[in-house]
Amino acid sequence: MPLYSCRVNASLVMGALSLCLFCNLAQAEIYKFKDKFGRIIFTDVPKTSEYVKVQLKGWSDPTRSMNPAHVRVNMEKYKLYVESAAEQYNLPLPLLHAVITVESAYNPQAVSRAGAMGLMQLMPDTAERFGVKNSFSPDENIRGGSRYLQHLMGLFKGDLNLVLAAYNAGEGAVMKYGNSIPPYTETQNYVRKVKQYQVIFSQQL
């Protein structure tokens, strides 16, 4: 019996896994397929060759080597975009700043090894789903990532741990593990890091 099979009208974005979790990676493989009604089907047991293995997002912590001065400059530069998106999608401003910092260290040209792009590191499927035509446009990228966060807030009933885990590892991975943070070191570190920065920005903004 499949460990996980569900239909959700969403694109799945998997977080990067460390090499030391190679065995977990094998267990965590998830595939997707678009049916004739346009629905995206996720499963860990593909039924036909038309199912495509979901690509990992390729996240690695950019804050380890970021230039704080550069981040401050870009935070100010894109401040109005972030504030507008936070208001439009009913998201906490410190949370948006935290996600952008941990995703890209405020580098609008950032590209992960798996092809996630821009300030909020949108995978191509996610960008397309949320109407982002140019992921390197700060305004478009922030709005697309914010819409995705808003969707996750509704899907996981505002549980920030699950929302952040899904943003990093994908909705399917969170559901597969019984609506809990998947046992991936990268995802666990991601959730912890974003929440740490959210606290910092809550005190500064």
Where in the sequence numbering do the catalytic residues fall?
103
Cβ 159 vs Cβ 166: under 8 Å: no
- The token pair that represents 90 in the structure block: 């009913």
Residue 21 CB-half CA count within 13 A: 16
Tokens of residue 124, six digits: 């191509």
Q: Would you give the DSSP letter of residue 44? A: S
- Measured CA to CA, the distance from residue 148 to residue 129 in angstroms comes to 9
List own/partner pairs for 191-196 with CB under 8 A and 24 or more apart: 191/161, 191/164, 191/165, 193/61, 193/63, 193/102, 194/95, 194/98, 194/99, 194/102, 194/164, 195/98, 195/160, 195/164, 196/98
200, amino acid identity? I
Question: 68 with 199: CB under 8 angstroms?
Answer: no
